[in-house]
A and B are shown apart, each in its own frame.
Chain A
Amino acid sequence: MTNSSDPKFRDAELRDRIAGLGEQSIRKSYYPELQQRIADLERYRMLLEQSSDIILLLSVPSGQILECNESACRDLGYSRDTLCALTLFTLMTPSAAEHAARLFADAQKGALKRETFAGTFTTAGGGSFPIELSLKIVNLDQSLFAVADARNIEERLRAEHDLKVSEERYRSLFEESRDAIYMSLPNGDFIDINQAGIEMLGYRSKDEVLQLNMERDIYADPTARRQAIQRLMNDEYLKDYEVQLRRKNGECLDVLLTSSMMHDEQGCIVGYRGIMHDITGRKKLEQQLLHSQKMEAIGRLTAGIAHDFNNILTAILGYATILELKMTGEGHMKQYVNNIITSSERAAALIKRLLSFSSRRALSRNSLDLNSIVKATADLIVEVIGKDITLEILPAAQPLIINADKSQVEQIIMNLVVNARDAMPQGGTLRIQSEPYLLSDDFIRQHGYGKPGEYALLSVADTGTGMDSEVLQKLFEPFFTTKKVGKGTGLGLSIVYGIMKQHDGFINVESAPGAGATFRLYLPTFKLDDAPATRQASPE
């Protein structure tokens, strides 16, 4: 109230109010507000009753159920009255009940918390279902209550489980595939790759691969990736598209790529999925097969011709000999006949060599020590190569017993030595080495041929002019020669090839122009009873 000296104290407004004429001077009624509150309550009741969650009002700390909604009665299988005679704890598994009891005890100490945890509700019929329970402690008029909101999560758990199983299924499909499976960004950065992919590319870990860019680090030819993507864009997918990749150690890898694009919701390309099937071994095998078939065909042809030629030569030589016997005295005629005989004999020798290429010659095989053959031929080799070439002979420390025709093996060595000499007109070093070799699956994978086992490896290496890949391709074909006309027959290496084949061995060459050449010959070894059992297979 204001002081009486203030004229406002006396103003009409205050008098009006005292006389009951102020704006607020009207008797109040509860009715409209009650009606409003009842309407509010009805709406709230609808909110509770129509909720599919189980909602309970609990007394704290007893856990006594004071109120419940329709879902609670329906899902738990109790009437409202029965449910309101129970406690929350009786509905729950012991561990979850303990959790709730602890929360209630904390609430009594003043910690009004909300907590959500998983548990199980038991129904009146003895069944149960998993729930996610939210408990919120509230203080109403100095009394503690808890509002419990329980949601049946059976469906959710099942869906999560199904998803997990499905995820695991696809994950194992991904991880256990023998083919490389990867995902990459449009720029070529890896998003993911499976174990087979990591191994295929020759890396140790996924982390290592995920640092890489396909275009920069994986494609042997970076433009090939762009071509592949172009093709993918045109056809929507790529199937068995052949590309060449580079392994970590630099080796080339041939793969068949099957790829598709990954799009976002707007349809933009966000990456690529791909499956890569390694066909390196298969390609080598195919090439090898092609080569063997070719050599086989040539061999048959050669053998056929040689056989017929031999018959013809036999007739020529026979009649020439008869002719010589019938001739008396010396003279030109006799000289001519002699020339026929000599030429026929040379032709017969040539045919003999052709036959040894085509493996049609009978072998006289014995158990031999490769080392001793190498040592035995040393003198002859020195004579053949001349003074400008240094010879190094490195026989293995232990005997290398092979089952072979000694003269054939000697011929192999001599043929290779002659070629080596011709490749080193300015001189150089010729190194002949014999060593044990354990031929593994890796070798077969790498070369496309071979048979696992213990071998004697004979290498003949020169420091000569070397050969390009074109020459290497045709090296063992008969009558292929790089020498001047009249200098070589083109049969030397084809004979080597034929002999090796006849001895169940393999031969390969490593050479590049200017880098010399190394011929490696693998001949199967076998143990003699008296041979040292400790012979070790040294790795490559």
Chain B
Amino acid sequence: MNTSFPLRKFISPEFVFGVGARKLIARYVKNLSAQKILLVTDPGVIAAGWAPEAAAALEAEGISCATFARVSSNPRDSEIMDGARMFREEQCDMLVAVGGGSPMDCAKGIGIVVSNGQHILGYEGVDRISLPCPPLICIPTTAGSSADVSQFAIINATDERRKIAIISKSLVPDAALIDPETLTTLSPELTAHTGMDALVHAIEAYVSTVSSPITDLFALETIRLIGANLLAAAMNPSDIELRGRTMLASLDAGIAFSNASLGAVHAMAHSLGGLLDLPHGECNALLLCVVIDYNFDTVPERYRDIADALGIDTKHLSDGSVRQKLIDTVLKLNADLGIPDRLSVIGVRAASIPLLAANALKDPCMATNPRIPTTDEIESLYDKLL
């Protein structure tokens, strides 16, 4: 095999990026010949007005809309089954998701169940979706999850208290209408969490064992944009310019990780989120430093590029110094954004660590981490952060 150019594929949905992109929703729905929409959103997005705005735009064009908003911050399997039932009862023929990662992943799950018929947990893993899902258009209202462009859906299996990952090309939405204006209602806390999520997406995609020159472009661009703009954006919520950059960063990160996949940070964060129902972005931000530390020696040149993208001058630094400077930069960014540096602060107990590690090792994101971890290693990584 040619090691310089192993086979790589690149997939991306049609997307419209820019101020006012969300207003194209009715046009897109009509072009897909849909007659009845299931609008998947959550109470926060309804309160912010984005979901009612989309519904009104659709109704104005004579397209009726049923709204499903019973979505938690980590979407649950039961919510997906409820949504699928509503889709059938309301005789919908298309899905529109308005919101962050949770409503968008929930909409993907509903699509799977509607056309494939079984319980959502039966589709865990890679390429398990045999029938195409109903059309899905996403209007993201956070800058981080990138579910609007990714082939991932992360669902909380509440009975098992773990998150399952469903990865399939069928989950790439038909179109994403990415409008920075939707971020203006985002709280500083969520801005911080989702922004750090985007950064972790980019870093993990860049060091992934299935990264490619194309995904590298998007990954490094994300890191530059986040490094330069996230803190400012969190501090100036209404600055549309800054919001636009973080939104762009999220889009780039989504394109990168959707094709290059992720690594240990996400595997461990999914485990945490499943067991303790913790905010996904916050977990990622917290875990990032220990995983950089763990992975660094396996792919030091990749981390050097990342450090460069974050504005660290690595030209005359040893690998060890680069590692330290990189970790310090991330820690400082977390601190500036108000993200805690200890898992114990957010409620994680030592007793949970063996189960957390076991679940993390089962997560498909772990498959593309540059270094192969053992259970003990994962446990010690969690342990370091207690």
Instruction: State whether these chains interact.
Output: yes
Which of B288-296, B315-323, B346-354, B359-367 is near enough to bind chain A?
B359-367
In the assembled complex, how far is the CB of residue A471 from the closest CB belonging to chain B, in whole angstroms? 107
Q: Does A309 touch B at the CB level, under 8 Å?
A: no
Q: Is the CB of B366 within 8 A of A4?
A: yes
Q: Does B126 touch A at the CB level, under 8 Å?
A: yes
Q: Is the CB of A19 within 8 A of B372?
A: no
Q: Does A22 touch B at the CB level, under 8 Å?
A: yes
Q: Is the CB of A141 within 8 A of B88?
A: yes
Give per-residue flags for B127-158: 1 if the beta carbon is below 8 A from chain A beta carbons, else 0.
Answer: 10111100000000000000000010000000
Residue of A at shortest CB range from B258? A20
Bound CA span A208–B10, Å? 95
Bound CA span A21–B260, Å? 11
In the assembled complex, how far is the CB of residue B92 from the closest CB belonging to chain A, in whole angstroms? 13
A487 contacts which chain B residues (CB < 8 A)? none
Closest 10 CB pairs of A and B: A28-B132, A24-B127, A19-B210, A20-B9, A4-B361, A1-B362, A27-B169, A17-B126, A18-B261, A22-B127
Residue of B at shortest CB range from A27? B169
Q: Does A9 touch B at the CB level, under 8 Å?
A: yes
Contact of A10 among B151, B260, B367 (CB under 8 A): B367
B368 contacts which chain A residues (CB < 8 A)? 15, 18
Bound CA span A33–B115, Å? 13
Q: Does B256 touch A at the CB level, under 8 Å?
A: no
Q: Does B44 touch A at the CB level, under 8 Å?
A: no
Q: Is the CB of A25 within 8 A of B169?
A: yes
Q: Which residue of B126, B260, B362, B368 has the most chain A CB atoms within 10 A of its CB atom?
A: B126
Q: Is the CB of A21 within 8 A of B361?
A: no
Q: Is the CB of B373 within 8 A of A20?
A: no
Residue of A at shortest CB range from B366? A4
Q: Is the CB of B7 within 8 A of A14?
A: no
Q: Is the CB of B367 within 8 A of A15?
A: yes
A24 contacts which chain B residues (CB < 8 A)? 127, 130, 168
Q: Is the CB of A14 within 8 A of B126?
A: yes
Within 8 A of B (CB), among A1-59: 1-5, 9-10, 14-30, 33
With A18-B261, A20-B9, A27-B172 known as contacts, the answer to whether A4 contacts B373 (CB < 8 A) is yes
Q: Is the CB of A15 within 8 A of B209?
A: yes
Within 8 A of A (CB), among B199-242: 209-210
Chain A interface residues toward B at CB < 8 A: 1-5, 9-10, 14-30, 33, 141
Q: Is the CB of A20 within 8 A of B259?
A: yes
Q: Is the CB of B126 within 8 A of A22?
A: yes
Bound CA span A195–B153, Å? 89
Q: Is the CB of B363 within 8 A of A1?
A: yes
B374 contacts which chain A residues (CB < 8 A)? 4-5
Bound CA span A1–B209, Å? 18
Classify chain B's interface size. Answer: 35 or more
In the assembled complex, how far is the CB of residue A15 from the closest CB belonging to chain B, in whole angstroms? 5
In the assembled complex, how far is the CB of residue A194 from the closest CB belonging to chain B, in whole angstroms? 69
B372 contacts which chain A residues (CB < 8 A)? 4, 10
A18 contacts which chain B residues (CB < 8 A)? 126, 167, 210, 261, 364, 367-368
Known: A22-B127, A27-B172. 13 other contacts (CB 8 A): A4-B372, A4-B373, A9-B361, A9-B366, A19-B7, A19-B9, A19-B260, A19-B261, A22-B126, A24-B130, A24-B168, A28-B131, A29-B132
Q: Does B170 touch A at the CB level, under 8 Å?
A: yes
Bound CA span A5–B362, Å? 10
Q: Does B24 touch A at the CB level, under 8 Å?
A: no
Q: Does B118 touch A at the CB level, under 8 Å?
A: no
Q: Does B8 touch A at the CB level, under 8 Å?
A: yes
B361 contacts which chain A residues (CB < 8 A)? 3-4, 9
B170 contacts which chain A residues (CB < 8 A)? 27-28
Q: Which residue of A14, A24, A29 has the most chain B CB atoms within 10 A of its CB atom?
A: A24
Q: Does B125 touch A at the CB level, under 8 Å?
A: yes
Q: Does B375 touch A at the CB level, under 8 Å?
A: yes
Residue of A at shortest CB range from B91? A141
Q: Is the CB of B88 within 8 A of A1?
A: no
Q: Is the CB of B362 within 8 A of A25?
A: no
Q: Supply 12 A–B pairs (Cβ within 8 Å), ascending by A.
A: A1-B124, A4-B373, A10-B372, A15-B209, A15-B367, A18-B367, A20-B10, A21-B7, A24-B127, A28-B169, A28-B170, A33-B132
Q: Is the CB of B11 within 8 A of A20?
A: yes
Bound CA span A266–B168, Å? 69
In the assembled complex, how far is the CB of residue B114 from the closest CB belonging to chain A, in whole angstroms? 12
A14 contacts which chain B residues (CB < 8 A)? 126, 364, 367
In the assembled complex, how far is the CB of residue B270 from the closest CB belonging to chain A, in whole angstroms? 11
